[in-house]
Amino acid sequence: MINLYKIKEGDVEYTLGRFNGDTVTYDFKNILVYLEAKGKILFGEHFEIHKEDHKLLLKLCCYFIQDKDYCKANGIDLNKGILLSGPVGCGKTSLMNLLRNLSLKPKMFEIIAARNIVFAYNHLGTKTIQDFGNNKCYCFDDLGIEPVGKYYGSTYNVMGEVLLSRYELFLETKIKTHITTNLNATEIEKRYGSRVRSRMRQLFNQLTFNETTKDKRK
């Protein structure tokens, strides 16, 4: 028996696809309608999904709904996390906030600003590194704009150490990590070192907004 797969927001139901009792067959056009409606709820009536972002959004949607055939054909590894990069204001954080709502299950990951992790480190020290090396799935938002960590007079590359901890966690448990960043690969290596960049290749699928994408906050 085929049932419609729906998500309800307030009094409105959105049909995202069809459910056969085992798997969901999604309809991307319907997903776009839902995500734009959800975006207006979360971010205000000004929110819209821009046509030039549809190609990237399709890849992200197929990753999060676990479309194995599409992801395999497009070189996306479902065992890795997502590193979503692009210019300032292109919509990276908004999309990650939206995409974790595609499932009827509890939200797939928690979004934490990288700068807030550094602020926590400045108060608590290495306990913060340990806390974010735990068995949760996180999206570290705006990697690269966080300040240098300082604890009892010593400076520390907090997010670099967090990423190394997440790498060890991934090897042991396959728990994923996601990231949004304005940095390119060269800038990531300069800030966090070749050791971190090398491990990031194993941790993430890199998906990128076009460098000419406009700042949607203007």
* pLDDT given at position 32: 94
The DSSP symbol for 148 reads: P
Token duo for residue 207: 């998906």
CATH topology of domain 78-208: Rossmann fold (3.40.50)
Direct distance between the N- and C-terminal alpha carbons of the chain, in angstroms, rounded to an integer:
48
Which residues make beta-bridge pairs with 155? Answer: 150
**pLDDT tens column, 51-100:** 999 999 999 999 998 899 999 999 999 999 999 999 888 899 999 999 98
Sheet of 177-181: strand order equals: 110-113, 138-143, 177-181, 81-85, 204-208
**Which amino acid belongs to residue 216?**
K
Series of mean pLDDT values for 10-residue runs along the chain (218 residues): 78 87 83 94 92 94 92 96 92 93 74 96 92 91 94 90 95 95 91 93 93 74
For residue 105, the model assigns a pLDDT of 62
| pLDDT at 41 (0 to 100) | 93
| Residue-level pLDDT at 157 | 93
* H runs (alpha helix) in 47-184: 54-64, 68-73, 92-99, 114-124, 127-131, 158-173
> Which has the closest alpha carbon to 142: 183, 109, 170?
183
pLDDT of residue 154: 86
Give pLDDT, residue 104.
56
- Closest by CA to 60, choosing from 96, 112, 103, 30, is 96
For the question of whether the overall pTM of this predicted structure is more than 0.85, the answer is yes
